[in-house]
Structure 1
Amino acid sequence: MTVTAGPAVEGADGRRTGPARAVVTGVGVVAPNGIGTAEFWAATLAARSGIGLLQRFDASAYPVCVGGEVLDFDDAALLSQRLLPQTDRMTRYALAAADWALADAGLDPAGLGEYDLGVLTAGACGGFEFGQRELQKLWGTGPERVSSYQSFAWFYAVNTGQISIRHGLRGHTSVFVSEQAGALDAAADTARLLRTGTLRAALTGGFDAPLCPWGLVVQLPGGLLSTSRDPERAYLPFDADAAGYAAGEGGALLVVEREDTALRRNAAGIYGRIAGHASTFDPRPGSGRPPALAGAIRGALREARTDPADIDVVFADALGVPDRDREEAAALAEVFGPAAVPVTAPKTLTGRLYAGGAALDMATALLSMRDSVIPPTAGTRAPAPGPGIDLVLGEPRETPVRNALVVARGAGGFNSAIVLSRYVRSPHHRAVTRPA
């Protein structure tokens, strides 16, 4: 993605600065191992997994019976009774996370102009459970019992729409459908719209909730889900015993603002900034051409003006499928050198969340920068043969994290990489820091 530098902006003291930078001021999380940012982060550092035997429905007859479910989400307490009949679980997660992210940022949408705040999310699965329920009504009791909300509640763009309606956000809205890579693409486009002056702030991220009978059935033909019935061994990226991944549900939303907007309103704190991004597309199978992931990584580093040696951690895509893991390890070794940068995959505690996965990785990377710690990869024990990577295992690794690279690959050949950097104030800007 090519980003056009926007016009110069004014800092908090009125001086002219360079093009507006995109900074993250709020985070909202709903994940299988934690509801809310604090609970999720504590569980992640303690390596507490949210992956288990599926409980929401009887999966004993399916070849897959393990996943990362969000089991303690109290939607009735968090959302109005009016919204519940309109929404699938994924949208309820997204609405709660949007509330929490805005509160974390201390951002009142009413304080900005009518079209200054937008919503850009990723969606891959849509409202599977809502759709299944209404189809059951259609075939079981007749069309007159089907909810009128079926017309949009199943749609992968519904989270963007419901968030914008709930908060009266009339700025640019869009949805990205590049599966696991989508949230990185959404964040990058958010940064572009901020730099060019189209928006002053936005909510960006992604959510999915694909764990219901219909949702599970449509995932099975891909052949990538783990059939292990042991939750601790179901998802083992970069491991000699890797045999697929566990699916999960949830995701994260970020409040991203122009730096000058955040400073002018005296934002409570800044987690970091979106420094660079690039996306590529793999060649068709059988073409003989190599995967394009390394190109996306190099492009993100180039846009961020960051050398490979300056990346302190890589949050890996970590599919858990042996040949795809080897491809990713080879791309990292090609760009950084063998075992030259710490690599982690905390999604081993949640499962792959599709559109929510990379969004949650971005939130985790920002928390890593805040607290100077890299969370571990769970489950993986015996490294798979192939290019060596410095995979963080067992315990969190305490180390300064100034720049983090998040990598994501979506089904069908999408590759995306984003560089998040610790916020360092401009000499013309007053310091804004967030306490740990």
Structure 2
Amino acid sequence: MTTVGVPVVTGIGVVAPTGTGAAEHWRTVLAGEHRIRRISLFDPDRYATTLAGEVADFDPARWADSRRTVQTDRWTQLGFAATRLALADAGLPEVADEPYARGVTLASSSGGNLFGQRELQRLWSQPSRTVGAYQSIAWFYAASVGQISIHHQFKGPCGVLASEAAGGLDSLAHAARTVRRGTPVVLAGGTECPLSPYALVCQLRGGLLSAGTDPRRSYRPFDARANGYLPGEGGAVFVVEDLAHALRRGAPTIYGELAGWAATHDARPTSTDGDVDSGQYARAIRLAVERAGLSPAEVAAVFPDALGVPRYDRAEAAALRTVFGAQPPPVTTQKPLHGRAHQGGAALDVATALLALRHDLLPPTAAPDRPASGCEVDFVRRARPPRTGAALVCARGFDGFNSALLVRRPATGPHGATAGSVGGTT
């Protein structure tokens, strides 16, 4: 078997409502602890949605110096923390020893909206009619990639993926391609903070947010009572590394391979009501499994998009049945515990999937209590070992983006030393 150009994950950095650090996140999802709360970053009383998943007690000064925190939005500051955690987990220095052999590929959606709203309010409410010097960069959707690459001196291939929730998977796929093309270490994943008045209004305008007031019952994907999603912040950053490079330097942990991936687009207008097309979503799932060189029967679990909107939930269940037949693999979602963090949420699902493979244990699903009609699949009700060493993570971005990523254990096990070739687009 070859180890050349095999993209593996050697570091996981989690900053989410479920915890700071992969270990705390894993404990929270195994216990099924709900971390949805009333929004505290601003007063949400005037809005229909008042609940969200926030990163508790987050202090940006712990993760970055004052020069960088004054330049950046909370979304980027969460990225600083996740990146430092991922590099430490991988046993890599914070400042690159080989700058041009290190890249950064993160996903982005809403950008620095908290920073931007503050500065625009200052512009229109104060006599000076000015904004801060960093307004031009802090809100920019590529701000996290730029700030992280500069601070850590990652001067190799860098980029940002913008496909809403699907971007959390697209960034990992792009990182895997970058590794195959010769860059041995790439940061991937993403964080998000869609919790400003402006960002909340934008989400409310889409008509998909839940207006529930019970933190444990207001975001129920696949449930007969599902009525929308609740927003969340945070996410995960990963060290994606060439397996041969990881083995040479003695990486402490190899969590798993990025074994297959695919992205498609619905190529049709997104309707605000009515049925949701599942055809291209199913195609992305099928291609990801095929490109990993696996049969559908070899997939141990699915971590779904889990939007919590009935027509989208039905379409997702239909896509799984299209690919896997009448009995899809076990399905588990943790989004009701922490909210939907768009690209950060998809990255967080990948972290959960990799941890599940490492610990040989599928975490219980946080929903549904009573599956809606058309959503009857095998939900993981109690933690159980996976049948195989492969897990599928799925994500849909608003306006037609579909992505799927297949992760699997290295060939010799969760701490494996060798792995075979992997599949994906180039």
1:418 partner letter: L
Counterpart-to-counterpart distance in 2, 1:17 and 1:46: 39
1:22-421 matched pairs, under 5 angstroms: 22-108=7-93, 112-142=97-127, 145-197=130-182, 199-285=183-269, 291-393=279-381, 395-399=382-386, 401-421=388-408
2:217 partner letter: R
1:360 partner letter: L
1:303 partner letter: R
TM-score normalised to structure 1 length: 0.91
SS of equivalent residue, structure 1 residue 115: helix
Counterpart-to-counterpart distance in 2, 1:242 and 1:37: 29
Query: Which deviates the most, 304-313 or 36-45?
Result: 36-45
* Deviation for aligned residue 1:290: 5.3
Task: Name the residue aligned to 1:13.
Answer: none
TM-score normalised to structure 2 length: 0.93
RMSD: 2.0
Task: Name the residue aligned to 1:5.
Answer: none
SS of equivalent residue, structure 1 residue 255: strand
Counterpart-to-counterpart distance in 2, 1:381 and 1:288: 23
| Aligned partners of 1:180 and 1:355 also within 8 Å | yes
* Deviation for aligned residue 1:400: 5.0
* Deviation for aligned residue 1:109: 6.2
Counterpart-to-counterpart distance in 1, 2:99 and 2:61: 30
Counterpart-to-counterpart distance in 2, 1:404 and 1:288: 25
| Aligned partners of 2:303 and 2:393 also within 8 Å | yes
Identity across matched positions, percent: 49
| Aligned partners of 1:109 and 1:169 also within 8 Å | no
SS of equivalent residue, structure 2 residue 254: coil
Task: Name the residue aligned to 2:409.
Answer: 422
1:337 partner letter: G
Length, aligned pairs only: 413
Query: Which deviates the most, 91-100 or 141-150?
Result: 141-150
Counterpart-to-counterpart distance in 2, 1:120 and 1:56: 28
